[in-house]
Amino acid sequence: MRWLIFLDTDHLSGPARLALDFAVAARAMGEDILALGLVRGRPAPTAFSRAFEAAGIPVKLLRERFRFDPAIVGQFQRVIERFKPDVYQSHGYKGSFLGRFAQRRGVKWQAVFHGFTWENPLVRLYHALDVRWLRKADGVIVVARSFGRELERRGVDPARIVWVPNAIDEAALRKTDSGEDLRRAWAGDDPGALLAGVIGRFSPEKGPDIFLGAFAQAAARATNLKAVMVGDGPELEACKRLVESLKIKERVVFAGFRSDLAAIYRALDLLVIPSRSEGMPTVLIETMLMGVPAISTDVGAVPDAIENDRTGLIVPALNEAALADAMEKMAGDAESRKRIAEAAGHYARERFSVEQRAREIIELGRGMR
């Protein structure tokens, strides 16, 4: 079959990485793939297009002059006419907007829904529009069972909703190791330091402020704890000020954005996901595969991946005290960290296979009526 995959992004976001892994695996299974991205302003290669092209996946970029530029509809229709896909796969609300235009040309529309975030009224509006459009999709893949229940509550036909969890290419992940000794750089001269990491965008829904509040409590009781925050984003400067006010500056490293994920995981003793909202965090699957135990808030698809105290620890969202207790517990119990990491790795390799995910998605595409 011929697949047209659309993402509204110019960088290699979590959903884009998942789409890329699917595209590579599906092509290896004999499927014909064309990726479609979006660029605002002057047409130029993006991190998104370069990543797909490097993997041998053809890419086209739609050009928009401003948000919701109607000109992208005509561009999209021309791509449909030339490529003649059997399945159009969308990711995100702009992709859902274009879904009906694909259907009008006899193309089946498979939507991949990555979840809800609630950081501001505009994003809530986008989600409302997305759900409205998703009611017309021929099939909807959700990355969390809870998202399926929520979409059903909002009027999406449950017969069209299928849970397919995210997946990670472990071999590709391990190739990101730069070889740099990040542990020595972050732990300094303290051989007994326990590094608790947060990896992701500094934005409200990711909860970096929640992590810092919890870390301050845990660090007061577990003197070996040190925090490493990897990433950038709009809340970075606010988090730096919060570190000053909490008087934990000497215990927190702001590492900036890095792409050598394997080197990062190799340096950490513990990963923390303090999010207010999530889909299926790719960092959770990655950390499970890399043998680092995780603590996460009970959001999105996290309960689909973590069995509490077996493959990780789960705490209530927005609860700094509970998160602090979990960090303190893990910091003081090396045996539990080892046990959880081993069980998580086994589960992740069994359930979050890129090839298995691709096969499921392809079969769903063939079965859409």
CATH of the domain at 16: 3.40.50.2000
361 lies in the same domain as 330:
no
101 lies in the same domain as 150:
yes
Average pLDDT, the chain: 93
102 lies in the same domain as 218:
no
145 lies in the same domain as 176:
no
Render pLDDT for 14-27 as a digit per residue (tens, 0 to 9). Answer: 789 899 999 999 99
Confidence class for position 248, pLDDT limits 50, 70, 90: very high
Confidence class for position 228, pLDDT limits 50, 70, 90: very high
Distances (CA, A) of 331 to 200, 204, 221, 251, 335: 22, 26, 10, 14, 10
Judge residue 39's burial from the number of C-beta atoms within 10 Å of its C-beta, 0-12 exposed, 13-18 middle, 19 or more buried. Answer: middle
Is residue 42 scored above 80 in pLDDT?
no
Confidence class for position 58, pLDDT limits 50, 70, 90: very high
User: Which runs of consecutive H residues, i.e. helices, occur in 233-294?
Assistant: 236-246, 261-267, 282-289
Is residue 369 scored above 80 in pLDDT?
no
| Contact (CB, 8 A) for 89 and 3 | yes
> Is the CA virtual torsion 350, 353, 357, 359 positive or negative?
negative
**Total count of domains within the chain:** 2
118 lies in the same domain as 206:
no
Range of the domain at 37: 2-167+353-367
Mean pLDDT of 313-319: 97
- Residue in the structure block whose two tokens are 């509006």: 125
Is residue 117 scored above 90 in pLDDT?
no
**Phi/psi of residue 43, each to 5°?**
-60, 130
Question: Whole-angstrom Cα distance, residue 37 to residue 61?
Answer: 5
Confidence class for position 12, pLDDT limits 50, 70, 90: confident
| % of the chain at pLDDT higher than 90 | 78
Q: Residue 166 carries which DSSP code? A: -
Question: Whole-angstrom Cα distance, residue 243 to residue 248?
Answer: 6
| Contact (CB, 8 A) for 206 and 322 | no
Mean pLDDT of 154-177: 92
52 lies in the same domain as 29:
yes
Mean pLDDT of 50-73: 92
**Phi/psi of residue 132, each to 5°?**
-60, -45
Confidence class for position 239, pLDDT limits 50, 70, 90: very high
Lookup: tokens for 224? 């070996």
Judge residue 175's burial from the number of C-beta atoms within 10 Å of its C-beta, 0-12 exposed, 13-18 middle, 19 or more buried. Answer: exposed
Confidence class for position 119, pLDDT limits 50, 70, 90: low
Mean pLDDT of 121-127: 80
The model's pTM is 0.80
Distances (CA, A) of 361 to 43, 149, 162: 31, 20, 10
196 lies in the same domain as 315:
yes
